[in-house]
Amino acid sequence: MFLVRKSLILMGLVCALALTSGVAAQTASETAAQAAPSTRPKPRVFVLGVNGMEWDIIRPLLLQGKMPNLARVIKNGTYGKLRTLAAPNCPKVYTAIETSTPPEENGITGFLVGGITANTHMLKREPLWSVLSKNKISVGMANVPATFPVLPVNGYMVSGMLTRGKECEDGVLCSPKLSEVEGGDAVYPTSLASELTTAVGDFNIDCSRMPSAEDLKGKEAQVVNDWLAEVDRIRAQQTKLFDYLLAHHPTDFTFLGQSCEDRVGHWLYPIQPFHQGYNPKINGLRPDAFPQQYVAFDKLLGVVLSHVDENSYFFILSDHGIKPLREFEETDPHAHMDHEKTTPVIAKHDFGDGDDVPGSFFAMGPGIKKNYRLMGFPVSVYDVAPTILHLYGIAALPQMRGQVMAEIFDGKNPPATVAQKGEK
């Protein structure tokens, strides 16, 4: 079905970008000229984005053997920190990953842009999924932050965090079900929405909203435990969604996003009584809650990996880490409340120095170094798009700031050649 509609999709894509972004439209002919030679087989590339994966938490879990799937990726691949932006948050960093351009250039500077929730109509630079689509690479995306409303791609797209719907005021994180989405489409093509509802159910697009201080008062244990059960339910739905899409709609390039980890970390990071904001009524209850998110993530990872063969490229990346609040930053307006300004948070990621809260990075595939640790910050969020384009033999767009991640590849083989070598 997608192939039949491709020319319409591509026309729609060009129109949509022309409407929303003059600069993106200008790049259309340039990208077409850079199309990969049709003789070379297309590699399959998978990206699993995690919202705020924190090395301080996953290291002990890896040592305890509680993340066997991630351990397998590390053993077979390259891993380390991913340099992120200053004061990182999801929409800002994911858009920098997609466009390889800084927020002030691509238009997505945060959760709110000019008082309105960040959305794809604000994009001023062409994202990776658009460049790939124009080059006849099929694209599948699900739950990636800041992809609402979805725009046409050569494949499918299910939006993620910042999808608007029932009870979603601007500046508030919310979790509409597919049937509750308002103000644009959450699924492309439209016909896929009913198929997914039948196969997966009426799933939540994003992780659940955090309870307010008012909700918590006097019934902390019940609210915390109920909320964590809801998080588990949403991750189970996401796992089912990803499994279904990977099995029934395989694409050359697939980008899936996970969002519950960050949400749990903000208000249930396992802090100590000497940390800023410690409240024994809440923070003494479930110190396992945040580490448990990554154990649960590892199970989802196992399901995704069951669709990835040794000839494919597989990346896991997070947009930032998350760290406890600091006493000496108490005057910071973000210090004690989340985006909703009501949840008593004890950890955050929008520290001014992004190197204090680096993202995480894992990659494996043909020609990628095995069991190789990246020291320092040789790879950044800006390098993701140029590297993926290069795997398809497509040159980075002139405005892209990043470089191909040369250090992750073995020997002197350029990655595009490596991809060819990996094909049977």
Per CB under 5 A, residues contacting Zn ion are 51-52, 90, 262, 319
Q: Minimum Å distance from CB 259 to Zn ion? A: 8
| Of 90 and 282, CB closest to Zn ion | 90
| Of 52 and 160, CB closest to Zn ion | 52
Q: Minimum Å distance from CB 64 to Zn ion? A: 25
Query: What is the CA angle 360-261-385, rounded to 5?
Result: 40
3-state secondary structure of 78: strand
Q: Minimum Å distance from CB 282 to Zn ion? A: 22
Is the separation of the CB atoms in 54 and 265 below 8 Å?
A: yes
| Of 185 and 319, CB closest to Zn ion | 319
Residue positions counted in the chain: 424
Q: Minimum Å distance from CB 377 to Zn ion? A: 18
| Of 138 and 208, CB closest to Zn ion | 208
405 Cβ contact partners less than 8 Å away, ≥ 6 residues apart:
363, 378, 379, 383, 387
Q: Minimum Å distance from CB 89 to Zn ion? A: 6
Residue with tokens 């842009």: 113
Separation CA 92–CA 268 (nearest Å)? 23
Q: Minimum Å distance from CB 75 to Zn ion? A: 27
List Cα–Cα distances, 355 to 75, 80, 381, in angstroms: 25, 13, 12
| Of 339 and 369, CB closest to Zn ion | 339
| Of 126 and 262, CB closest to Zn ion | 262
Chain position whose Cβ is nearest to Zn ion: 90
3-state secondary structure of 2: coil
CB atoms within 10 A of CB 331: 6
Rg (CA), the chain: 20
Nearest to 259 by CA among 220, 216, 204, 313: 204
| Of 124 and 339, CB closest to Zn ion | 339
Torsion of CA 384, 386, 388, 392, to 10 degrees: 180
| Of 344 and 359, CB closest to Zn ion | 359
Q: Minimum Å distance from CB 160 to Zn ion? A: 11
3-state secondary structure of 36: coil
| Of 256 and 391, CB closest to Zn ion | 256
Backbone φ and ψ for 254, nearest 5 degrees, come out as -130, 130
Tokens at residue 170, please? Answer: 């601007």
Type of residue at 402: G
Q: Minimum Å distance from CB 230 to Zn ion? A: 19
Q: Minimum Å distance from CB 335 to Zn ion? A: 18
* DSSP classification of residue 411: T
Residue with tokens 């999709």: 9
Is the separation of the CB atoms in 157 and 151 below 8 Å?
A: yes
Buried b / exposed e along 213-232 (16+ C-beta atoms within 10 A): eeebeeebeebbeebbebbe
